[in-house]
Amino acid sequence: MYILNLNSAEPVNVKGTNIYFRGFKILQLILQSVMDKGMSNAKEVILTGCSAGGLATYIHTNYVKSLLSPTVTFRAIADAGYFIDAPDVNGEWYIRTFYSDVFNMQNCSDGVNQDCIAAYKGTNETWKCFMAQV
């Protein structure tokens, strides 16, 4: 049995409804659970996701690999989810604005590569660590 201590932060209130964002903490607990149930003995591991799950695959590949023995054959396959920071066909930076807003609203800084966060510290561009291309 696992005791969930998700270090809860304040929720985001959207039209009177509190929304909690815990994706990375949930990922950590799931990985702990499957490691305890035998994945720690795996010889081969594939991490995959589609669409937003594909983005999560890009973002969390190094983290998942770090939990495994160096002898494990590890592969990550993202089926979509590569949303690039570039202008759209109308010259608008829609994805930049969207992902910046999502990153900041959900406070995603703890769930992305910390070397990336350090590289962008003090620039107001830590949201770029949420982009697959970065």
Burial string for 104-127 (b: 16+ CB within 10 Å, else e) reads eebebbebbbeebeeeeeeeeebb
pTM above 0.85, yes or no: no
Residue 69 belongs to a domain:
yes
User: 126 and 95 in one domain?
Assistant: yes
pLDDT at residue 3 greater than cutoff 50 = no
Give the bridge partners for 67, in sequence order.
none
Looking at residue 4, its pLDDT comes to: 38
- Shared domain check, 89 and 78: no
Query: Tens digit of pLDDT for each residue in 62-83?
Result: 999 999 999 999 999 999 878 8
Enter the DSSP assignment of 111. G
Average pLDDT in the chain = 87
43 with 14: CB under 8 angstroms? no
Q: Are residues 94 and 67 in the same domain?
A: no
Determine the pLDDT at residue 5: 40
